[in-house]
């Protein structure tokens, strides 16, 4: 690419944007099952949480209508998206001397940064507000130890049973979702009962991070699963494992600057807002040499990304967080 060809063409910028999205979208594991919030106006969104109706215990009698069922309680939650972004600078010398296509590589790196950053932000919102459980006999993160509190098959049974007790609805087809760290996954694969019952999915599922099913749960692996470094007894690392049911959390963002959390993007733009038009899921901003401001010799340019995000737990009984040790801390 010439050192300075004036403003980069729209086709080139589109190519860089696609490169960014291809690296960003597969990283958005934690948000794939979120309930979208509705635009309220003035930059805020709202989502409504409906309580369950009371059970019917009296039989109908001939010719008589039952009392009208009262409306369920509604909790309205308002969300205001915040802005996030980052950029990198490049120079004319970099474009002239770099062996690799510099702007394409920078776009790819920024895409990975964008996807990882937003996925971790949502992960933190979920783990901070979910119902917390502990493996083994631990009752707090600080007393999770490497001997008695290693994740095991029984911990999965207990957390699924709690979701069922709360009448939680499946979120991924007929299944709940479990997100766990690769170290936790490796530990479970040494549990003979787990391995015997576990069903592995095909290659297409693996590309989306989905490993297999057990106990009405689909397991997804993510290196972004939360780790509390030196958080347990003897300064061991404590890991999180999320159990997610339907409508347990929500995400919001401004339509044209908000990621597609479905995991099906593959670099493509999505349709958003009320227009049905294609919109950017992450805004890529490319400034050509000399476009960044005071730059008398047109030697500097920048590539950056920008998006909006807000996330919240709607029903803590339908999303659980299992804190545990494993064999690979």
Model confidence pLDDT, tens digit, residues 208-262: 677 889 999 999 999 999 999 999 999 999 999 999 999 899 888 765 566 666 5
The pLDDT score that the predictor gives to residue 323 is: 98
Q: At which residue do the structure tokens 């339908």 appear? A: 318
- Residue 192 CB-half CA count within 13 A: 0
- What tens digit of pLDDT does each residue of 2-49 get? 444 444 555 555 665 665 555 555 557 898 898 877 655 555 666 666
60-70 as b/e: b if 16+ CB within 10 A: eeeeeeeeeee
Whether the CB-CB separation of 210 and 199 falls below 8 Å is answered with no
Return d(Cα 319, Cα 195) in angstroms, integer: 24
Task: Pull the structure tokens for residue 205.
Answer: 């599922």
Question: Which spans in 130-245 are helix H?
Answer: 153-165, 182-188, 192-197, 203-207
pLDDT grade, residue 155 (50/70/90)?
Answer: very high
Task: Pull the structure tokens for residue 215.
Answer: 């106990």
Task: Pull the structure tokens for residue 177.
Answer: 């979702």
The pLDDT score that the predictor gives to residue 80 is: 83
The pLDDT score that the predictor gives to residue 263 is: 53
Secondary structure E strands in the chain: 35-36, 38-41, 44-50, 74-79, 82-91, 131-134, 176-180, 199-200, 210-214, 217-221, 227-228, 238-244, 249-252, 270-271, 278-279, 283-287, 300-313, 319-324
The pLDDT score that the predictor gives to residue 98 is: 58
Q: Mean pLDDT across the chain, nearest whole number? A: 80
Whether the CB-CB separation of 49 and 77 falls below 8 Å is answered with yes
- What tens digit of pLDDT does each residue of 94-108 get? 766 654 577 777 877
- What percent of the chain is modeled with pLDDT above 90? 36
Residue range 98-127: average pLDDT?
82
């Amino acid at each position: 690419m010439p050192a300075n060809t004036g403003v980069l063409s729209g086709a080139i910028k589109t190519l860089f944007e696609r490169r960014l999205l291809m690296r960003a979208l597969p990283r958005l594991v934690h948000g794939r099952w979120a309930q979208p919030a509705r635009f309220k106006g003035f930059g805020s969104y709202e989502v409504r949480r409906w309580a369950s109706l009371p059970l019917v215990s009296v039989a109908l009698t001939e010719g008589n209508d039952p009392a009208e069922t009262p409306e369920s309680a509604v909790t309205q939650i308002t969300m205001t998206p915040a802005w996030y972004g980052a950029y990198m600078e490049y120079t004319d010398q970099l474009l002239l001397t770099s062996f690799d296509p510099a702007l394409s590589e920078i776009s790819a790196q920024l895409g990975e940064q964008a996807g990882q950053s937003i996925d971790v932000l949502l992960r933190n919102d979920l783990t901070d507000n979910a119902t917390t459980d502990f493996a083994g006999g631990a009752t707090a993160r600080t007393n999770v130890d490497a001997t008695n509190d290693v994740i095991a098959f029984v911990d999965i049974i207990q957390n699924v049973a709690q979701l069922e007790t709360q009448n939680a609805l499946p979120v991924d087809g007929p299944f709940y979702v479990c997100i766990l760290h690769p170290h936790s996954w490796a530990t479970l694969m040494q549990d003979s009962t787990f391995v015997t019952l576990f069903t592995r999915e095909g290659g297409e599922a693996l590309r989306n991070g989905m490993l297999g099913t057990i106990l009405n749960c689909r397991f997804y692996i993510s290196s972004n699963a939360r780790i509390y470094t030196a958080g347990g007894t003897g300064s061991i690392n404590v890991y999180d494992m999320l159990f997610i049911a339907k409508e347990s959390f929500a995400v919001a963002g401004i339509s044209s600057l908000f990621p597609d959390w479905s995991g099906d993007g593959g670099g493509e733009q999505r349709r958003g807002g009320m227009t049905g038009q294609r919109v950017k899921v992450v805004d890529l901003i490319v400034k050509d040499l000399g476009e960044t401001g005071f730059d008398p010799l047109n030697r500097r340019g920048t590539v950056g990304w920008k998006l909006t995000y807000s996330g919240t737990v709607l029903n803590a009984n339908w999303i659980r967080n299992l804190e545990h040790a494993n064999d690979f801390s």
